[in-house]
Amino acid sequence: MLTDGGGWTLVASIHENNVHDNGRCTVGDKWSSEQGNNQNTKHGDGNWENLKTFGNVASSTSDDFKSLAYFSIDDAKDIMIWQVPNNTPLSMWRSNSYLRYRTYGQFLSGLGGNLQNLFQSYYPIRQGVYNPVSDNGPSFPVKYDEGSPADALSHFGPSSQPYLTAGYIQFRTVNAGQHINAICPGVKTDPVWTSYPFACIGGSSFWSSMHNCGDFSGMAADGYGTGTGKSVDKTLIETTFLIFYR
């Protein structure tokens, strides 16, 4: 309530509990699939688009959370994301967050007033349907309340950084294999780059490479938290993304 006049509502958290191969797209990967890297359920669990709820506020940094407000609020205008280390207690979310940023152009007003409508009606997550160049979703600029675009970019793998522009949030990216990621937090992608899973979270569940399955998709493709190649650093791989509406 201290950010830009307040009025924010926590609606979701995205948390990765296991990015090793034996934990990808298994129990706890609610923003992609808990059913495995399975071609029969290649669109994932659909939680970006459906009316299901799970988790609770108090444990938002140790498990995935989706509140009723995620879809019942239908007049939200902007979103805010806090990047908080996993297992941070609620009372320390603000003090421990290393990046806090928010959109400011009221983009959600034209996209259904919440993320559920955005993904269901405007930018569905459907694997094998969309063109990797022409069908990527929109990106919106953000203001930083903690950190900076340079800080945000520094946590991504060095092989990915040349193809990312920090200071944005992007929705529904489509890679060369027509797999989908739901959100790219803090960055937008170069439209000629088709390796989005190394920078984005959530989405479809059947990938030709098991390394790309799961809530944090391909963020550990070159090792867990190594910060080399395509892998993000340990700070980012052990982050919870808290999503707020206003």
pLDDT higher than 70, residue 123: yes
pLDDT band at 208 (very low <50, low <70, confident <90, very high): low
The percent of residues in the chain predicted with pLDDT above 90, rounded, is 69
Greater confidence, 36 or 106? 106
pLDDT higher than 90, residue 183: yes
Greater confidence, 194 or 229? 229
Element (H, E) at 143: strand 139-146
Are the CB atoms for 201 and 216 separated by under 8 Å?
A: yes
Choose among 149, 203, 215, 153: nearest CA to 173. 203
Residue where the block lists tokens 């999503």: 243
Residues facing 83 on adjacent strands: 99, 241
Please tell me the number of Cα atoms within 13 Å of 107 on its side-chain side: 18
Q: What is the reported pLDDT for 204?
A: 75
Cα–Cα distance for residue pair 178/152, rounded to 1 Å:
26
Q: What is the reported pLDDT for 206?
A: 65
Cα–Cα distance for residue pair 215/65, rounded to 1 Å:
13
Judge if pTM exceeds 0.85: yes
Q: What is the reported pLDDT for 109?
A: 97
Cβ-Cβ contacts under 8 Å for 114 (sequence gap 6 or more): 11, 70, 71, 73, 74, 76, 108, 245
Q: What is the reported pLDDT for 22?
A: 65
Mean pLDDT, rounded, of the chain: 91
The phi, psi pair for 210, rounded to 5°, reads: -60, -25
125-171 confidence digits (pLDDT tens):
988 889 888 899 999 999 999 999 999 999 999 999 999 999 999 99
| SS3 state of residue 21 | helix
Q: What is the reported pLDDT for 212?
A: 74
Q: What is the reported pLDDT for 20?
A: 66
pLDDT band at 42 (very low <50, low <70, confident <90, very high): low
Please tell me the number of Cα atoms within 13 Å of 109 on its side-chain side: 7
Cα distances from 94 to residues 39, 59, 91, 109, 149, in angstroms, run: 40, 15, 8, 27, 19
